[in-house]
């Protein structure tokens, strides 16, 4: 992110032209490291976001509506006390440092003074500091006062600039000329390491734009020219045009676009992790339950053997006596005519030993009969959870996550967050595609998959990957014959939103909707089908 001194100088100039003479109407702190200043410029009201967050530090205009905490943080209260109603005298930078300086004229009934809000845009070391007459009034991030603190940031302390780096200040043309007198290999890296206030991407842009002549003059002219062509990608923004980036009218717009995209991505990844975590916990729970059921079934597996032992003991009571530890009797169930060794309790009579084996047999048989439906139910639950996990991994948008969360809440796999009031949310649409005049729908979760089947006409084509979890796909035929390329395209959608991990082709089954059946009591997204065909897609 090129929040270097070069870019900040141009940002400061842009903010100064827009905000000079404006007045602070309101100050909020929606996030721990972010301020929101509502400023009336005389023509319109603007919302300036000033952030000291490492991922989106900077100052830019935005129209995002952020929820503010019920109780304002201490730094926000301090700024409200000292800057409410203040007039903006100007916006600049502190030399060629990565520091934006907002100068305010603060008037009250009894006094008048100038204060400065210094925004140190330095990645994870970013900070917001309010000063008056060179003395710190308050700061967003303060330091402790100890012998190891080289730069105390505390109310009442004198404000000092961050320790200078051992680099050449580009405003010193003579020093810059001496540094660049001889040609260098990997010039962009050399500029970044030896000229202060440059980000790596700015150094690369300087080198790319160099066309010969005095290198020092070119570097100075590039850094201190007021030419600006703002542009941005979803991960970066730039003061000069960059190939592949989206152009914007102002640097503020470019920053706002870039940071909004990063916040969306962060929210999406966080939401995806949250849902995946909830589903993974459900999968582990069902796997643990299934393992316990299988262990019990293994314990009960010798039930028939216990029945045979009981019958053999009953048939040979005449040959047994009390006090025996074991016996070896002919096994008339063995086709080879072998013998079976049977352990006995010497404190019981032979008859009681036989009854003990019969009791054990009946108990194990009942347990097996009880465990069988539990196993089927648990396997179905596990299969359902795995289908949710596949949907979470295939999610690509906020709508995908919202629809999946809706299903998790309905299935009781997540607790619904407490919300103030009742808000009716719009129904999330299917994924929709067009191909050769045919409309193709794909479900985002199992609830949508069920809706998709219900809305399908009898002659519509339904698709699903074979032996893999995937979304359901529906081709709206309207009585027409579906061409092979449309069928292949729809099958590709199935594979795209499935847990088929192979790089090759995946089998996809398809059939008419009237060949689908939803078993009574089955989980969401589960159907059976007949008279189907299979196509290979990727």
Model confidence pLDDT, tens digit, residues 118-162: 999 988 889 999 999 999 999 999 887 765 667 889 999 999 998
pLDDT at 147: 57
Contacts of 123 (CB under 8 A, 6+ apart): 3, 54, 57
Q: What is the mean pLDDT of residues 475-481?
A: 91
CATH architecture of 5-139: Roll (2.30)
Beta bridge partners of 106: 113
Angstrom distance (rounded) from CA 516 to CA 455: 12
Model confidence pLDDT, tens digit, residues 324-352: 999 999 988 888 888 899 999 999 999 99
pTM above 0.85, yes or no: no
The alpha carbons of the chain give a radius of gyration, in whole angstroms, of 37
115-124, 234-243, 266-275, 499-508: least confident range: 499-508
CA dihedral (35, 40, 43, 47) in degrees, to 10, reads: 20
Q: Which helix (H) or strand (E) holds 132?
A: strand 127-132
Angstrom distance (rounded) from CA 370 to CA 339: 32
Angstrom distance (rounded) from CA 178 to CA 289: 74
Structure tokens at 319: 């040959």
Contacts of 466 (CB under 8 A, 6+ apart): 506, 507, 508, 509, 534
- The 8-class DSSP code of residue 153 comes to -
Quick count: other Cβ atoms within 10 Å of Cβ 366? 12
Model confidence pLDDT, tens digit, residues 14-39: 999 999 999 999 999 998 999 999 99
Q: How confident is the model at residue 234 (pLDDT cuts 50, 70, 90)?
A: confident
Q: What is the mean pLDDT of residues 264-288?
A: 92
224-233: long-range contacts (C-beta < 8 A, 24 or more apart)?
Answer: 224/9, 224/170, 224/171, 226/10, 226/13, 228/10, 228/14, 230/254, 232/257, 232/258, 233/258
DSSP 189-207: HHHHHHBTT--HHHHHHHH
If DSSP codes are grouped into helix, strand and coil, which group holds residue 88?
strand
What is the chain's mean pLDDT, rounded?
89
Instruction: With a cut of 70, say whether residue 455 has pLDDT above it.
Output: yes
First-residue to last-residue Cα distance in the chain: 37
If DSSP codes are grouped into helix, strand and coil, which group holds residue 225?
coil
Q: 113, 99, 104: which is closest to 160 by C-alpha?
A: 99
Instruction: With a cut of 90, say whether residue 43 has pLDDT above it.
Output: no
Q: 244, 275, 509, 538: which is closest to 388 by C-alpha?
A: 275
Q: How confident is the model at residue 425 (pLDDT cuts 50, 70, 90)?
A: low
Angstrom distance (rounded) from CA 197 to CA 97: 6
Q: 10, 180, 209: which is closest to 98 by C-alpha?
A: 10
Angstrom distance (rounded) from CA 467 to CA 487: 19
Instruction: With a cut of 80, say whether residue 447 has pLDDT above it.
Output: yes
What angle is formed at CA 386 by the lines to CA 470 and CA 487, rounded to 5 degrees?
5
Q: How confident is the model at residue 2 (pLDDT cuts 50, 70, 90)?
A: low
Domain ranges of the chain: 5-139, 298-383, 431-537
Instruction: With a cut of 80, say whether residue 427 has pLDDT above it.
Output: no
If DSSP codes are grouped into helix, strand and coil, which group holds residue 363?
helix
pLDDT at 423: 52
Model confidence pLDDT, tens digit, residues 152-202: 899 999 999 988 888 888 988 899 898 888 877 889 999 999 999 898 988
pLDDT at 148: 65
Instruction: With a cut of 90, say whether residue 428 has pLDDT above it.
Output: no
Q: What is the mean pLDDT of residues 81-109?
A: 92
Structure tokens at 73: 């943080």
Q: How confident is the model at residue 269 (pLDDT cuts 50, 70, 90)?
A: very high
Percent with pLDDT over 90 in the chain: 54
């Amino acid at each position: 992110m090129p929040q270097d001194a070069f870019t900040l100088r141009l940002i400061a100039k842009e903010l100064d032209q827009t905000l000079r003479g404006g007045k602070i109407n309101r100050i909020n702190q929606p996030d721990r490291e972010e301020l929101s200043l509502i400023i009336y410029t005389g023509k319109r009201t603007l919302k300036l976001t000033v952030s000291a967050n490492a991922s989106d530090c900077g100052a830019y205009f935005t129209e995002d509506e952020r929820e503010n905490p019920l109780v304002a943080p201490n730094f926000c209260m301090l700024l409200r006390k000292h800057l409410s109603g203040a007039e903006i005298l100007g916006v600049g930078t502190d030399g060629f440092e990565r520091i934006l300086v907002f100068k305010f004229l603060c008037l009250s009934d009894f006094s008048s003074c100038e204060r400065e809000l210094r925004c140190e845009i330095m990645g994870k070391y970013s900070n917001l500091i309010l000063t008056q007459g060179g003395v710190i009034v308050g700061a967003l991030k303060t330091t402790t006062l100890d012998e190891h603190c080289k730069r105390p940031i505390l109310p009442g302390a004198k404000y000092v600039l961050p320790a200078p780096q051992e680099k050449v200040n580009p405003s010193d043309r003579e020093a810059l000329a001496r540094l660049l007198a001889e040609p260098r290999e990997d010039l962009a890296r050399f500029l970044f390491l030896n000229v202060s206030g440059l980000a790596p991407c700015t150094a690369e842009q300087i080198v790319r734009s160099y066309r010969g002549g005095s290198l020092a003059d070119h570097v100075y002219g590039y850094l201190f020219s007021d030419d600006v062509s703002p542009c941005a990608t979803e991960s970066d923004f730039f003061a000069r045009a960059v190939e592949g980036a989206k152009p914007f009218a102002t640097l503020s717009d470019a920053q706002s676009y870039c940071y909004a995209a990063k916040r969306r991505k962060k929210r999406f990844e966080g939401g995806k992790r949250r849902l995946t975590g909830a589903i993974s916990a459900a999968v582990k729970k069902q796997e643990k339950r299934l393992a316990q059921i299988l262990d019990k079934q293994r314990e009960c597996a010798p039930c028939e053997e216990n029945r045979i032992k009981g019958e053999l003991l009953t048939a040979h009571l005449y040959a047994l006596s009390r006090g025996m530890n074991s016996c070896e009797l002919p096994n008339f169930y063995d086709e080879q005519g072998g013998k079976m060794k049977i352990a006995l309790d010497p404190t019981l009579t032979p008859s009681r030993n036989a009854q003990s084996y019969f009791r054990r047999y009946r108990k194990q048989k009942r347990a097996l009969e009880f465990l069988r439906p539990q196993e089927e139910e648990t396997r179905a639950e596990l299969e359902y959870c795995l289908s949710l996990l596949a949907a979470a991994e295939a999610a690509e948008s906020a709508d995908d996550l919202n629809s999946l969360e809706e299903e998790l809440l309905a299935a009781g796999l997540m607790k619904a967050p407490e919300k103030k009031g009742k808000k009716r949310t719009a129904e999330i649409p299917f994924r929709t595609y067009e191909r050769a005049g045919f409309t193709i729908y794909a479900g985002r979760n199992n609830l949508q998959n069920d809706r998709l089947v219900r809305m399908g006409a009898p002659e519509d084509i339904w698709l699903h990957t074979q032996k893999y979890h995937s979304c359901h796909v529906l081709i709206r035929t309207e009585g027409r014959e579906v061409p092979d390329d449309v069928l292949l395209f729809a099958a590709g959608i199935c594979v795209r939103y499935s847990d088929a991990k192979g790089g090759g082709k995946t089998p996809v089954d398809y059939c008419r909707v009237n060949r689908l059946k939803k078993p009574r009591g089955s989980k969401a997204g589960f159907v059976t089908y007949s008279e189907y065909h299979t196509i290979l897609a990727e």
